[in-house]
Amino acid sequence: MYRQLTTLWVLLLIASSSWADAPLKVVTTIKPIHSILSGLLAGSTPPQLLVDGAQLPYHYRLSEPQKKSIQQADLIVWVGPELEKFMLEPLQQLNANTTVLTLLDNEEIKVLPSRWDESKRDPFFWLDSRNIIILTDELARVLMKVDPERKALYERNRHQLLLRLARLDRNLEYGYRGLKSGIGMAYYDTLQYFEQAYALKIRGVVTQSPTTPVSGLSLLQSHAKLASGDYSCLLTEQQSAMEQLPILTQGVQLNITPLDSFGTTLESGTDFYFELMKYNTSAIKQCLQFENSPISLPPDSDQAPLSSGIGGKFMLRDHHGKLITDQDLLGKFHLIYFGYTFCPDVCPTSLITLSSALNQIGELAEQVRPYFITVDPTRDTPEILNTYVTYFHPTLVGLTGTQAMVDRVAALYRIQYEKVEDPSRAADEYIIDHSSGLFLMAPDGKFITKFAHGIAPTEVATRLKAVLSQH
């Protein structure tokens, strides 16, 4: 009897160990998302990719083995119905234990409306590298939730991936000045995110996607634009049928260069996303005949601020929950203060100084918009900020986001902060040591000056008047 119980106990231990070591089954749809998941899952079972090789998602049909994999998956990550209609039916047949992440529904990612139908969403969000930085943070959070046993692995992989993405983002933002000049037209509408992120001027799109035929009117109008001589470039798409291309370009002299928004010519895997952005950036430069050379970044600068100056591209949410980017701040001078709502004295004092200075300059204050960016996004939700900002100047805007979003903007402004916990207090009663100071930025987003902590409101007002009177 004892031997039987011992045998049973050993079998249970083996089974328990087997269950604990069971691989997480992750399925995703397209290569760009698969690339980020591959990086996060490095060292464990890789994710399964559905639309691989030179295939496109528009008219994709799942194989029977793929349908089975979807049913057995622990986690499914897809873009959304605007791009992957082939997923709608299998997703409806899943059991309750499967976690499904629809990326176009994620509130942390910048999702733009379609330029063809405002009720639809533009699915090509991965062509803005800032979105992928945020996505990496979101996917890591989901992986740690569904598979807590491997939390340390996901944290380590997340850190390494974010370092690579930060350098890629710097290269795209500061390394290709030529992207801010030239005029091009796109055959398919895949570049809206890239246009906004990197100031690319695409003045015309022939049609939305391979699923929408080119109308006769659009074809004639697009041909007339190209024939005007104002355009130097037409961007097409790899693996996509473009039956009207000969008519569109008849009698027109310009560069025609294929983009590869889905990476159909690239091998899937962790490096895929970096190769994808490199390829498409080079294709655009070649098409628009750029002459500028990339700016060389200093070696081993991944730990450095994302800009050699102050400021740069970021994405946060205001105290109403609305998505705000650095572009939304342009057009007015802006005063930016970093702090947190649980700050006992320094932050309220600084915000009172800011408010008093704006009150002292009268109508000139209409040229300035003040912003309070939290360094404590865990506690400072939009709801908390919505109440907090009412205690100060009526135009003060509170900004928060995910930890990754806040880390990024803090690095752009060279803000240092550290969470300090007191063992004698509750876990949520920590304080944060942080850099203090008030940044004045120009309407074009360029850094003007930084007011030191402790400066008198009258001094801030005097210096503001001097700057504003010259504008």
Q: How far apart are CA 402 and CA 329, in angstroms?
A: 19
Stretch among 230-239, 304-313, 428-437 having the lowest mean pLDDT: 304-313
Residue 185 included in any domain: yes
Q: Sign (positive/negative) of CA torsion 125, 130, 133, 139?
A: negative
153 pLDDT more than 60: yes
Q: Which two tokens stand for residue 105?
A: 């529904």
Do 324 and 462 have their domain in common?
Answer: yes
Are 268 and 340 within one domain? no
Does residue 330 form part of some domain?
yes
List, edge to edge, every strand of the sheet that includes 333-339.
Answer: 323-325, 315-318, 397-400, 368-374, 333-339, 438-441, 447-451
Say which residues have a Cβ less than 8 Å from residue 322's Cβ, sequence separation at least 6: none
Domain membership of residue 172 (yes or no) is no
Q: Which domain holds residue 274?
A: 177-287
Assess if residue 4 is contained within a domain.
no
* Tens-place pLDDT, residues 72-107: 999 999 999 999 999 999 999 998 899 999 999 998
264 within some domain: yes
Contact 253, 140 (CB under 8 A): no
The whole-model pTM stands at: 0.65
**Arithmetic mean of pLDDT, 363-392:** 94
For 161-173, the DSSP string reads: HHHHHHHHHHHHH
- Report the distance separating Cα 430 and Cα 419, nearest Å: 7
Q: What is the CA radius of gyration of the chain?
A: 26
Residue 250's closest CA among 230, 232, 227, 231?
Answer: 227
Q: In this model, does residue 301 exceed pLDDT 60?
A: no
State whether 324 and 418 are in the same domain: yes
The residue among 287, 306, 341 that closes a domain is: 287
Count CB atoms within 10 A of the CB of residue 453: 14
Q: Do 136 and 258 share a structural domain?
A: no
Domain boundary among 248, 271, 287: 287
CATH number for 450: 3.40.30.10
What one-character DSSP code corresponds to residue 139? H
Last residue of a domain, one of 110, 137, 161: 161
H-type helices in 319-439, by residue range? 326-329, 346-360, 382-388, 403-412
Identify the pLDDT of residue 471.
66
Euclidean distance between CA atoms 176 and 290, whole angstroms: 9
pLDDT band of 174, cuts 50, 70, 90: low
Residues 190 and 114 occupy one common structural domain: no
Q: How far apart are CA 264 and CA 282, in angstroms?
A: 16
Let me know whether 149 and 52 are in one domain. Answer: yes
- For position 103, what pLDDT does the model report? 97
Cβ atoms 324, 318 nearer than 8 A: yes
> Which of residues 175 and 116 earns the better pLDDT score?
116
Same-domain pairing of 51 and 144 = yes
In terms of domains, do 74 and 183 share one? Answer: no
pLDDT level of residue 182 (50, 70, 90 thresholds) = low
Taking a C-beta distance cutoff of 8 angstroms, is the pair 144, 151 a contact? yes
Which of 169, 433, 420 has the alpha carbon at shortest distance from 277?
A: 169
Report yes or no on 9 lying in a domain. Answer: no
Q: For residue 91, is it within any domain?
A: yes
We report the CATH number of the domain holding residue 270 as 3.40.50.1980
User: Is the separation of the CB atoms in 384 and 471 below 8 Å?
Assistant: no
85 and 54, same structural domain? yes
Distance of CA 227 to the CA centre of its chain: 36
pLDDT of 6 reads 45
Give the pairing type, strands 397-400 and 323-325. Answer: unpaired
Amino acid at 64: E
Does 29 share its domain with 102? yes
Per-residue confidence band for 351, with pLDDT thresholds at 50, 70 and 90: very high
Instruction: Count the residues in the chain.
Output: 471
Rounded Cα gap, residues 227 and 253, in angstroms: 8
CA dist 348 and 354 (Å) reads: 10
Quick one: CA torsion of 176, 178, 182, 188, rounded to 10 degrees? -10
pLDDT of residue 298: 35
The residue assigned the tokens 């533009």 is 122
Contact 231, 254 (CB under 8 A): yes
Q: What is the spatial distance between Cα 248 and Cα 242, in angstroms, rounded to a whole number?
A: 10
> Nearest to residue 383, comparing CAs of 428, 319, 324, 315?
319
Q: How many domains is the chain built from?
A: 3
Same domain, 147 and 195: no
73 domain-assigned: yes
**Residue 55 neighbours by CB under 8 Å, 6+ apart:** 239, 264
Do 262 and 343 lie in a common domain?
Answer: no
pLDDT for res 357? 93
The percentage of residues in the chain with a pLDDT greater than 90, rounded to a whole number, is: 56
